[in-house]
Amino acid sequence: MKYLDHTYYVYILSNHSRNVLYIGMTNNLFRRMFEHKSGVIQGFSSRHKLHYLVYAEFYQYVNDAIKREKQLKNWRRQWKIDLIESENKEWEDLAADWF
């Protein structure tokens, strides 16, 4: 994945067993993944050990990213799984070698 300055990312995280999905948006995917993986921010993702980046999209404009995040959050679980598997069939951690 290409990392660009002033880009907004919509991403999907999962845990080891793939039974929980988390959708988020950020302007710094590298920093945000460090926060998720290290558990520095307490909440849903740390409670469920959502440390695997399984999908990401990037946008030039923040409003587009927010709109897409809201859209994905309203999707049925199977649609989210289909989206992930369209790009990442094996559910590999796309940020596995970042830290």
Residue of 48, 57, 55, 46 whose CA lies nearest to 13: 55
Q: Return the pLDDT at 70.
A: 98
Q: Return the pLDDT at 68.
A: 98
Look up the pTM and report it.
Answer: 0.92
State how far the Cα of 37 lies from the Cα of 6, in Å rounded to an integer.
23
Upper half-sphere CA count for residue 52 (Cβ side, 13 Å): 16
The string of pLDDT tens digits covering residues 65-84 is 999 999 999 999 999 999 99
**Other C-beta atoms within 10 Å of 29: how many?**
24
For residue 33, being part of any structural domain is answered with yes
Mean pLDDT across the chain: 94
* CATH (domain of 81): 3.40.1440.10
For residue 96, being part of any structural domain is answered with no
Give residue 15's domain range.
8-87
**Other C-beta atoms within 10 Å of 73: how many?**
14
Domain count, the chain: 1
